[in-house]
Amino acid sequence: MKTTIRLKDHWKEQRLFLSRLFAIGTIILLLAGVLIWRLFQLQIVEHQFFADLSQGNRLRIEPLPPTRGLIFDRNGVVLAENLPDWELIIIPEEIIDLEESLRRLEELELIDSTEHSSLTELIRSHRGFERVRLANLTETQAARFAARRHHFPGVDIQEGLVRNYPFGELTGHAVGYVARISPSDLDEFARGSLDRSDYAATSLIGRSGIERSYETVLHGSVGYRQQVVNAQGRVLLDSTVSAGDVLRLEPSQGGIETRWPIPGDNVVLGLDIHLQSVAQRAMDGFRGAVVAIDPATGDVLAMVSAPGFDPNRFSVGLSREDFRALSSDPDKPLFHRALAGSYPPGSTIKPFLGLAALHYEIVEPERRNMCPGYFVLPGYSHRYRDWKSQGHGPVDLHQAIVQSCDVYFYKLALGLGIDNMSVFLRDIGFGVKTGIDVSGENSGLIPTREWKQSQFSKREDQVWFPGETVITGIGQGFVLVTPLQLAHTTAMLAMGGQRFQPRLVMAIENGTTGKVIESDSVRLNVMSDIDESHWQEIEEAMVGVTEDSQGTGRVAMRGTPYSVAGKTGTAQVFSLAQDQEYDEEEIDERLRDHRLFIAYAPLDNPAIAVAVVVENGGGGSTTAATVTRKVLDAYLLGENNVVQQY
């Protein structure tokens, strides 16, 4: 409760109020004085200076573009560089009739008439002083324009830099590409993720891959110079040239100044361009993906998505038709299969499930199970068939992986149950994004009971069926993985449970000082509670795949001077009826099985982990393994001197 009561003293309060009003009123008058003084400065004292600037003599601000950072591979080979070229530019504030100018440029075949409306939109979205790049010109085009330049006030050619990828298609997916800034990029500026004014002079922006993810690193900071030009566009005063006395201007007086652009930083990738080219050549003619990772760091050594595309086409400006042709190609060359392609893992999931079964003590490794060539769930009639119709006979875990016995893994999956399987597979990196440092990654899918419930609307479809557990055991059904995830988890097998986040960029080199900052590998959760002997067991089985006389990968890996742990896989695209035989010849090419292979080598100190997916079995059942072999040979044996630096 109140102990003192303050009474309102109206007389006193009014005096207090008036004194405050008076004080604040005085401050207001002072501020008004400052304002008027400022106006006096501008309009009387510096009047002549500004009058000169406005009367035909304009202050032109010319933004200076920064040089985009280079991209190197791990051995210092340049993967993305800047080459000089001619650019046709327009300065909106100096244009008299935009429509007319564009139309006449089209007549000269300097710009494409199909881009008329998009160019108009682009120009209108820029501010008056910003230079908008209309097109890259060839030498002859540049000469053609130069002769008619005086007909085009506000249009000019300038020497610019165009992005060039010396390896073309080889790095299309892995490095990405730049493209002309589009209205949608300007939206991105508006949302504030990039600084709009930093791009005042820039015409190209990272559109995919490293070029996009590392846009802020590569781009650098814009500079500018100021010029005083007269109405005819003649430069009277240039801030980059030591100040003349043309207008009796002093730089301090409203001043003109220069700020040089700061070049972007260079980016060093873990990619080995030699290995990349071997992998690319090995995939020639197939659809699919190859990912090779250094298990000890997570560095991506090679990342191929086939078919690829030539990134240089984007940086010089792809016409609408060409882009439509590329994006509607049934082989989807623009689709980054290595990151975003999700495939059923097929039997490549077996080593991981074997590990899970050992860890959860579902199987005794030595105990043999009879494989009659099919499996039937108790109480059901459906036969889950083995790929080998006559059966593998009695097999233990080792042989089940070596020979890729399906029946063994049907039982093993049933023993584990979907809950254990999904938890374990997620823990080791399936079903979640690996967190690689470029965007566009797919998370794949590890199904759970809850997932199924949420996916289906009908009640009877929401239940998880035992049969779905069974086929998960051989990597079929709902389970989907990306080639990157497969390579990542294979690297984890190689490291006995240590996981490193996959990364493309190893180091960043300061564009000005040349100082290199190497980034640290990011260690992900370690599967430390899995017994050492379990890893051993799985590794021995995977070695058996490539060395045992029964091994499914022995043909492709025959005679390697290094030892390889591997696993084959076949992923069904097309479901066979109960008694139908799979006949490659009779099935439509797009519905044929995918072939997969995972491997790491050498055993004692693994230097590389590889995952290969070949879509629709192009080239027969051993294609994926053969591609893997070429990649391993190239990296470990070294067709030239790029290998074994460490």
Partner 1 sequence: MLSSSINLAIGPAAVLRPLRLRGLVMDAPIVLTVFAICALGFVVLYSAAGENESLLLRQAVRFALAMLAFVIIAQVPPRVLRLWAPWVFFVSLSLLLLVEFRGVTGGGAQRWLDLGFSRFQPSEIMKIAVPMMIAWFMHERALPPTFKQLPILLLIICAPTLLIALQPDLGTALLVMASGGLTVLLTGLSLRLILALGAILLGSIPVLWNYMLDYQRVRILTFLDPESDPLGAGYNIIQSKIALGSGGLFGKGWLNGTQAHLEFLPERSTDFIFAVLGEEFGLLGLLFLLALYFVLIGRSLYIAAQAQDTFTRLLAGGLGLTFFVYVFVNTGMVCGLLPIVGVPLPLVSVGGTSMVTLMAGFGILAAIHGNRKLLAP
Residues with catalytic function:
347
Beta-carbon contacts of residue 239 (< 8 Å; ≥ 6 apart): 225, 226, 227, 251, 256, 257, 258
The answer to whether residue 131 forms part of the interface with partner 1 (CB under 8 A) is no
Q: Of 10 and 459, which CB lies nearer to partner 1 in the complex structure?
A: 10
Minimum distance between the CB of residue 237 and partner 1, rounded to whole angstroms? 15
CA dist list (Å): 634 to 75, 134, 629: 15, 44, 8
Count H helices, E strands: the chain? 23, 24
Q: What angle do helix axes 532-547 and 350-359 make, rounded to 10 degrees?
A: 150
In angstroms, rounded to a whole number, what is the distance separating the alpha carbons of residues 327 and 341? 16
Q: Of 54 and 533, which CB lies nearer to partner 1 in the complex structure?
A: 54
β 204-206/235-238 pair status: unpaired
Q: Of 89 and 371, which CB lies nearer to partner 1 in the complex structure?
A: 89
Hey, is 568 helix, strand or coil? Answer: strand
Minimum distance between the CB of residue 623 and partner 1, rounded to whole angstroms? 44
Q: Of 16 and 325, which CB lies nearer to partner 1 in the complex structure?
A: 16
The answer to whether residue 254 forms part of the interface with partner 1 (CB under 8 A) is yes
Residues touching partner 1, count (CB under 8 A) = 54
Minimum distance between the CB of residue 127 and partner 1, rounded to whole angstroms? 7
Minimum distance between the CB of residue 360 and partner 1, rounded to whole angstroms? 42
Tell me, residue by residue from 262 to 301, as one string, x for binding to partner 1 by CB under 8 A and - for no binding. ----------------------------------------
The answer to whether residue 200 forms part of the interface with partner 1 (CB under 8 A) is yes
Interface pick for partner 1 out of 103, 124, 127, 515 (rule CB under 8 A): 127
Q: Of 36 and 370, which CB lies nearer to partner 1 in the complex structure?
A: 36
Q: Of 53 and 377, which CB lies nearer to partner 1 in the complex structure?
A: 53
Helices in 309-349 by DSSP H: which ranges?
Answer: 312-315, 320-328, 337-340
Q: Of 228 and 545, which CB lies nearer to partner 1 in the complex structure?
A: 228
In contact, 247 and 225? CB cutoff 8 Å: no
Minimum distance between the CB of residue 22 and partner 1, rounded to whole angstroms? 9
Minimum distance between the CB of residue 336 and partner 1, rounded to whole angstroms? 25
β 258-259/223-229 pair status: antiparallel
- Stretch of residues binding partner 1 (CB under 8 A), selected from 170-178, 193-201, 373-381, 635-643: 193-201
End-to-end CA, the chain: 80
Rg over CA atoms, the chain: 33
Q: Which of 520, 442, 530, 521 is nearest to 493 (CA)?
A: 530
- Stretch of residues binding partner 1 (CB under 8 A), selected from 55-63, 112-120, 487-495, 585-593: 55-63
The answer to whether residue 54 forms part of the interface with partner 1 (CB under 8 A) is yes
CA-based angle 384:554:538, to the nearest 5?
A: 65
Q: Of 38 and 234, which CB lies nearer to partner 1 in the complex structure?
A: 38
Dihedrals phi, psi of 370, to nearest 5 degrees: -80, 130
The answer to whether residue 6 forms part of the interface with partner 1 (CB under 8 A) is yes
The answer to whether residue 55 forms part of the interface with partner 1 (CB under 8 A) is yes
Helices in 41-138 by DSSP H: which ranges?
Answer: 47-54, 98-107, 116-124
Tell me, residue by residue from 7 to 46, as one string, x for binding to partner 1 by CB under 8 A and - for no binding. xxx---xx-xxxxxx--xx--x--xx-xxx-xxx-xxx-x
CA dist list (Å): 243 to 58, 228, 237: 16, 11, 7
- Site residues for partner 1, 77-116, by CB under 8 A, read 93
Minimum distance between the CB of residue 24 and partner 1, rounded to whole angstroms? 6
The answer to whether residue 195 forms part of the interface with partner 1 (CB under 8 A) is yes
DSSP lists the bridge partners of residue 480 as: 445
In angstroms, rounded to a whole number, what is the distance separating the alpha carbons of residues 347 and 354? 11
The answer to whether residue 589 forms part of the interface with partner 1 (CB under 8 A) is no
Minimum distance between the CB of residue 218 and partner 1, rounded to whole angstroms? 16
In contact, 499 and 352? CB cutoff 8 Å: no
Q: Of 6 and 458, which CB lies nearer to partner 1 in the complex structure?
A: 6
Minimum distance between the CB of residue 541 and partner 1, rounded to whole angstroms? 49
Query: Following DSSP, what letter does each residue of 52-71 receive, concatenated?
Result: HHHTT-EEEEEEEPPPPPPE
In angstroms, rounded to a whole number, what is the distance separating the alpha carbons of residues 222 and 202? 8
The answer to whether residue 123 forms part of the interface with partner 1 (CB under 8 A) is no
The answer to whether residue 197 forms part of the interface with partner 1 (CB under 8 A) is yes
In angstroms, rounded to a whole number, what is the distance separating the alpha carbons of residues 241 and 255? 14
The answer to whether residue 191 forms part of the interface with partner 1 (CB under 8 A) is yes
> Which chain residues interact with partner 1 by CB under 8 A?
6-9, 13-14, 16-21, 24-25, 28, 31-32, 34-36, 38-40, 42-44, 46-47, 49-51, 53-55, 58-59, 61, 63, 93, 127-130, 187, 190-191, 195-197, 200, 222, 224, 226, 254
